[in-house]
């Protein structure tokens, strides 16, 4: 994925003006062909004010006119803030280095929005809806995901090529079909349609995303600057012999962590985990003991995690969460749920819609991979393709912003191709500093990995999330309207990963 995107968006308006090399009109109201009641008037206005678009003249925007492929390349450069170089050699045979758009085409190619599958770029051709979808998805850095997305069902019966890109453009809410079953891929895109699509993406990429974490020690509080909430894993829900919450942390330690969390400006939640039989008690009793644990422990709210529920647990969990919502009142209620999975199958124990309506945040736990290819462990944590699949499955089912995405902070470690103890962020940073370590990044999984040796000089491989991986997840979360990122463990988290959340 593109590391540049997050940095570029920080100064979009300035970058757009510099990259475009042209001053945009002060107001789109000057365009006679954009009446106040036009369906795209607001988006055209914003596009012009931000410097992404110029009018065809001082008084005309060009409503209804098609956009050329070269013009869209220029607009992409302005939007993403890409620097436009002066090409020494043409990227395409039909793009001379002296062309006014040559630098934009070069930049779009350098950033992956264009590829050289053909010798010609066809700069003066009107861009089609299919070509626009492809360029936009590639510009976001989602080419690997688009290759996988082509395996997903598509409702548009007229799509024969580039299905993955069109599926993604639709899933991300950037482009609609021309009907329920038609995308009209060969139809040209007009200037106002392109403006609307870009503003949709602009709004998505500027969505606020809050942060939360699970924290086990006072030391972990140092990472919580700017976080909304932190959950202290201090209880376990049991039902055998009577429903109760048993302590999993000494009371003195829990109190100290709570104090550190509040000192960092966060709400302190009681994190309670439950096993397969945790829901065997009555809804009334379970609600009472969980609410009492929150109140007696002095917590601000509850974070409930009952992993890997299956069919019979769905109704029990749904009843419990409804009851907890009433019992906790205005106090925060977070719930962990297994995410719908592309490769690993889906647990049937979660009524996502009802649960999402009752909680402040429904935290999705994405399954990691564990495989081997030619004696090399392929074990990415929170694979980006699984995140995309899960968010696509849950799109439009929950209130905007209620979804939270769990992010693993430890690394999946393998010694001699056998799974080993997970490595903390500090341990990963130490490994990266060693001369024997080599670091890589998988675009498909959106996950970093390193190869080196352990203290016994045995071959070591660690898959982990770094700054780029974190930024990739935040970007995808924003595109789908996810409102929060939750760190699975704040203790020992790498500063590099935290930097990717900014």
Q: For 398-425, what is the mean pLDDT?
A: 94
On whether the CB atoms of residues 362 and 335 are closer than 8 A, the answer is yes
Return mean pLDDT, the chain.
92
Question: DSSP assignment, residue 188?
Answer: B
CATH architecture for segment(s) 210-410+464-499: Alpha-Beta Barrel (3.20)
Q: Spell out a b/e string for 210-242, using b for 16 or more CB atoms within 10 Å of the CB, else e.
A: ebbbbbbbbebbebbeebbbbbbbbbbbbbeee
pLDDT per residue over 352-379, tens digit each?
Answer: 999 999 999 999 999 999 887 878 999 9
Tokens representing 240?
């055998």
328 phi/psi in degrees, rounded to 5: -80, -15
Q: For 284-307, what is the mean pLDDT?
A: 97
The region, left, alpha or beta by phi > 0 then psi within -120 to 50, assigned to residue 469 is alpha
Number of H helices, E strands in the chain: 17, 16
Closest CA to 340 of 317, 303, 366: 366
Cross-strand pairs, 272: 235, 304
Around 28, how many Cα atoms within 13 Å sit in the side-chain half-sphere? Answer: 26
d(CA 283, CA 318): 10
Contacts of 36 (CB under 8 A, 6+ apart): none
Closest CA to 309 of 278, 270, 333: 278
d(CA 216, CA 407): 16
Residue 24, CA distances (Å) to 17, 48, 67, 385, 425 in order: 8, 6, 17, 38, 46
On whether the CB atoms of residues 237 and 286 are closer than 8 A, the answer is yes
DSSP result, 121-152: --TTSBPBHHHHHHHHHHHTT-HHHHHHHTTS
**pLDDT of 6 above 80:** no
Q: Which helix (H) or strand (E) holds 103?
A: helix 102-110
Question: For the purposes of burial, counting CB atoms within 10 Å of the CB of 309, is it exposed (0-12), middle (13-18) or buried (19 or more)?
Answer: buried
d(CA 420, CA 21): 54
Residue 345 pLDDT: 72
pTM of the full structure: 0.91
pLDDT per residue over 155-195, tens digit each?
Answer: 999 999 999 999 999 999 999 999 999 999 999 999 999 99
On whether the CB atoms of residues 407 and 474 are closer than 8 A, the answer is no
**pLDDT of 30 above 70:** yes
Q: Which residue has the tokens 């109190």?
A: 255
Tokens representing 241?
């012999």
Contacts of 434 (CB under 8 A, 6+ apart): 452
pLDDT per residue over 130-144, tens digit each?
Answer: 999 999 999 999 999
Tokens representing 322?
């409804």
d(CA 207, CA 140): 16
Contacts of 146 (CB under 8 A, 6+ apart): 137, 138, 162, 164, 165, 167, 168
Residue 287, CA distances (Å) to 53, 119, 270 in order: 56, 66, 14
163-171 vs 129-139: helix axis angle to the nearest 10?
70
Q: How confident is the model at residue 313 (pLDDT cuts 50, 70, 90)?
A: confident
d(CA 312, CA 317): 9
Question: DSSP assignment, residue 222?
Answer: G
Q: How confident is the model at residue 14 (pLDDT cuts 50, 70, 90)?
A: very low
d(CA 401, CA 348): 23
**pLDDT of 16 above 90:** no
pLDDT per residue over 32-51, tens digit each?
Answer: 999 989 999 999 999 999 99
Q: How confident is the model at residue 201 (pLDDT cuts 50, 70, 90)?
A: very high
Q: How confident is the model at residue 13 (pLDDT cuts 50, 70, 90)?
A: very low
Q: Which residue has the tokens 């699509």?
A: 197
Domain regions of the chain by residue span: 4-127+188-205, 210-410+464-499
On whether the CB atoms of residues 446 and 469 are closer than 8 A, the answer is yes
């Amino acid at each position: 994925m593109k590391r540049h995107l997050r940095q570029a968006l920080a100064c979009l308006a300035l970058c757009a003006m510099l990259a475009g090399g042209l001053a945009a009109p002060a107001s789109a109201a000057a365009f006679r062909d954009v009446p106040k009641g036009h369906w795209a008037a607001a988006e055209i206005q914003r596009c012009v004010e931000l410097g992404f678009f110029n009018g065809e003249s001082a008084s005309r925007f060009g409503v209804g006119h098609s956009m050329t492929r070269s013009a869209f390349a220029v607009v992409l450069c302005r939007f993403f803030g890409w620097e436009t170089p002066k090409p020494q050699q043409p990227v395409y045979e039909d793009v001379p280095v002296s062309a006014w758009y040559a630098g934009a085409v070069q930049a779009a190619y350098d950033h992956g929005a264009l590829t050289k599958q053909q010798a010609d770029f066809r700069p003066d051709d009107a861009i089609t809806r299919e070509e626009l979808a492809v360029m936009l998805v590639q510009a976001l850095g989602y080419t690997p995901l688009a290759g996988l997305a082509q395996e997903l069902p598509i409702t548009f019966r007229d799509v024969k090529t580039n299905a993955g890109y069109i599926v993604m453009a639709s899933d991300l809410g950037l482009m609609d079909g021309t009907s329920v079953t038609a995308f009209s891929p060969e139809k040209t895109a007009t200037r106002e349609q392109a403006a609307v699509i870009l503003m949709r993406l602009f709004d998505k990429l500027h969505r606020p995303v809050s942060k939360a974490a699970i924290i086990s020690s006072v030391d972990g509080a140092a990472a919580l600057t700017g976080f909304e909430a932190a959950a202290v894993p201090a209880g376990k829900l049991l039902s055998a012999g009577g429903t109760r919450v048993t302590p999993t942390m000494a009371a003195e330690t829990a109190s100290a962590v709570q104090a550190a969390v509040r000192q960092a400006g966060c709400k302190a939640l009681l994190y309670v985990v439950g096993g397969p039989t945790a829901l065997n008690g009555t809804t009334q009793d379970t609600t009472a003991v969980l609410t009492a644990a929150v109140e007696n422990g002095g917590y601000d709210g509850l974070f409930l995690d009952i992993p890997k529920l299956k069919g019979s647990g769905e109704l029990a969990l749904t009843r419990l969460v409804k009851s907890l919502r009433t019992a906790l009142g205005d106090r925060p209620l977070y719930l962990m749920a297994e995410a719908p999975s592309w490769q690993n199958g889906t647990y049937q124990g979660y009524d996502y819609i009802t649960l999402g309506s009752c909680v402040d945040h429904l935290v999705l736990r994405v399954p990691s991979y564990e495989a081997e290819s030619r004696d090399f462990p392929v074990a990415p944590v929170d694979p980006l393709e699984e995140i995309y699949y899960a968010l696509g499955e849950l799109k439009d089912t929950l209130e905007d912003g209620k979804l939270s995405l769990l992010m693993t902070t430890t690394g999946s470690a393998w010694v001699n191709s056998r799974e080993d103890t997970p490595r903390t962020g500090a341990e990963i940073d130490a490994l990266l500093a060693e001369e024997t370590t080599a670091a890589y990044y998988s675009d498909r999984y959106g996950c970093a990995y390193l190869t080196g040796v352990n203290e016994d000089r045995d071959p070591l491989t660690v898959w982990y999330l770094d700054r780029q991986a974190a930024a990739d997840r935040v970007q995808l979360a924003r595109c789908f309207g996810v409102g929060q990122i939750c760190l699975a463990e704040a203790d020992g988290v790498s500063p590099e990963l935290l930097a990717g959340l900014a």
